[in-house]
Amino acid sequence: MDLGLRGTVCIVTGASRGIGRATAERLAAEGAQVLLVGRDRERLEAAAEAVGGVAFPADVTDPGAAAAIVADAEALGPVGVLVNNAGTSFARPVAELTDADWRAQHDIHVMAPMRLMREAAPRMAAAGGGRIVNVCSSAGKRPSLTNAAYSVTKAAQLSLSRVWADLHAADGVLVNAVTPGPVSSELWLGHGGLADQTAAARGVTREEALAAQAGKVPLGRFAEPGEVADVIVFLCSARASTVTGAAWSVDGGAVAIIV
């Protein structure tokens, strides 16, 4: 199936690893021109070289980053796709969360994607349309007590997605969200990642923490980054021509409601 992405200029944040890198790879495979954004310059440049894209090292929480990212992408042509994937999480009891923790999660999950949409969507509208996908989380639909700040800000990101969808639907700019559950990525499986943090918070072993998390998923396993990326790329495509304002669960059935 031709997804109609050949030549489309795409921005993917958090693109050096995990879901972001898998999304960049799939967009590039469809013939898109991809600007990969991330904080780790060395890793980002390696990812960009591997997928045949352009690296733009940046911290998306910097208030000036959005304008610079979009301007750099426009050097390749009109921006047609924005994937807001940058994010992070940590497992910590609610009582231990500081104001700085809450602010940091809000900055990366709400303010950063908002600024990028604010920059990109009007340009897409002026060019006749585009696609925006915000990578949220199943935790935004079903909060976690061990990831409270993450859960709350991911719920806000879902609301933000709907606001921009309503704002620009008539302009042909279609805005959607995906809500992955646990993913086999560095965020979960890396040293000191969510598996280790959850184990420490709950007083169990790493293996027990991973098994318990997988046990919450009817599919019985973590998703692979590419499985989430496949859904993202479809939503970025010409084939998703009437899909906007939706939050696609890509969580193996973990959230037991249809929304």
Please give the positions annotated as active site. Answer: 150
Is the Cβ–Cβ distance between 250 and 231 less than 8 Å?
Answer: yes
Between CA 62 and CA 188 the distance in angstroms is: 25
Separation in Å, CA 26 to CA 85, 201, 225: 14, 36, 11
Residues in the chain: 259
Is the Cβ–Cβ distance between 133 and 176 less than 8 Å?
Answer: yes
DSSP code per residue over 168-223: HGGGTEEEEEEEE-SBSSHHHHSTTSHHHHHHHHHTS-HHHHHHHHHHTSTT-SPB
